[in-house]
Amino acid sequence: MLTKLIYVQRFISIVFTNFAIQYVDYSSIYTNGSNVGERVASAIVYKGITKSVRLPDLTSIFRAELYALFLAIDVIRRSKLKNS
């Protein structure tokens, strides 16, 4: 018997897959904000290149994730400038 959680996970997987198919010609950017103890960092991976930034100690995970999104937006902006 499948639990409600498994149904939800499968639904999200199907929705994501259908969404991703529309953008198959685009490059993926993976973002992450994380901490180990008091140390906090943000990072992105784009076309096999990793960029990470150490943030001030005790920065919230929310801010670390938000900064990772900022890094991704900066990479997108710079790549558009190169392609102009």
> Is the CB of residue 64 less than 8 Å from the CB of residue 34?
yes
Distance CA 10, CA 33 (A): 25
Residue 18 pLDDT: 94
Please report, for the chain, the start and end positions of each structural domain, with discontinuous segments joined by +. Answer: 26-82
Residue 26 pLDDT: 87
Q: Whole-prediction pTM value?
A: 0.76
Any idea of the CA torsion for 14, 20, 24, 29, to the nearest 10 degrees?
-140
- pLDDT tens digits, one per residue of 10-54: 999 999 999 999 988 888 899 999 999 999 999 999 998 999 999
> Is the CB of residue 55 less than 8 Å from the CB of residue 35?
no
